[in-house]
A and B are shown apart, each in its own frame.
Chain A
């Protein structure tokens, strides 16, 4: 049972490049979310999903897209990377509204 798996663990991008951060969970959780964590800012919600085919925006969605074609996968796409997107990105999943989330180990992204 792997839990929540994020790839890659580290990534350096040039400004303007695009990429996809992968997230997969094997716990059959309906709810999945993407957060970014910056020093002094705490974790901020980017996008979330309550099930396959359903996604919605969080607090800081600009510059990011998501899709949820299966229960297991919830990729995060950076459309045109900017230095302001340098951050640590966490994917998380949960079985339901009253439960906490299980987090992946994170992706450390640097945009130069």
Chain B
């Protein structure tokens, strides 16, 4: 089983739609969770951290379910500019440092 798993997509949605991505992780001791956005041939950029109680940043909402070991990202009122690959990232404890493990990403295409 992969440490972090995501549906690769692509998710093709019309502008204005609501879209949700899920991500599962294997290590129940994981402590920190993030969503990153990556545009084609660019570096990943931190979109938002994911907190236990869930958190929202404008049109974006992140949720964490520790019991089922998954995190989710909800995007409301999708914009053309939201088209990108969304990476689920989990911090696995190593005893020595901060090792982030990345999912392979979910591709989102927002269309007119």
Interfacial residues, chain A to chain B (CB-CB below 8 A): 31, 33, 35, 40-45, 48-50, 54, 56, 58, 90, 94, 96-106
Contact = CB atoms under 8 A, between A and B. Distances in A.
A100 B105 contact: no
Interface in B31-58: 31-32, 34, 36, 42-46, 49
B50 to A, nearest CB: 10
B80 interface: no
Given A48-B97, A50-B97, A56-B96, A100 B104 contact: no
B95 to A, nearest CB: 10
B71 interface: no
12 contacts: A42-B104, A43-B87, A48-B99, A50-B97, A97-B91, A100-B34, A100-B36, A100-B49, A101-B100, A102-B46, A103-B45, A104-B43
Contact of A45 (B42, B46, B101): B101
Interface string B11-45: 00000000000000000000110101000001111
Greatest chain A CB density within 10 A among B46, B94, B97 is at B97
Interface in B56-112: 87, 89, 91, 94, 96-105
B97 A43 contact: no
Greatest chain A CB density within 10 A among B31, B46, B100 is at B100
Contacts of A58: 99
Contact of A100 (B43, B46, B96): B46
Given A40-B104, A42-B87, A42-B104, A96 B42 contact: no
A97 B97 contact: yes
Contacts of B34: 100
Contacts of A104: 43
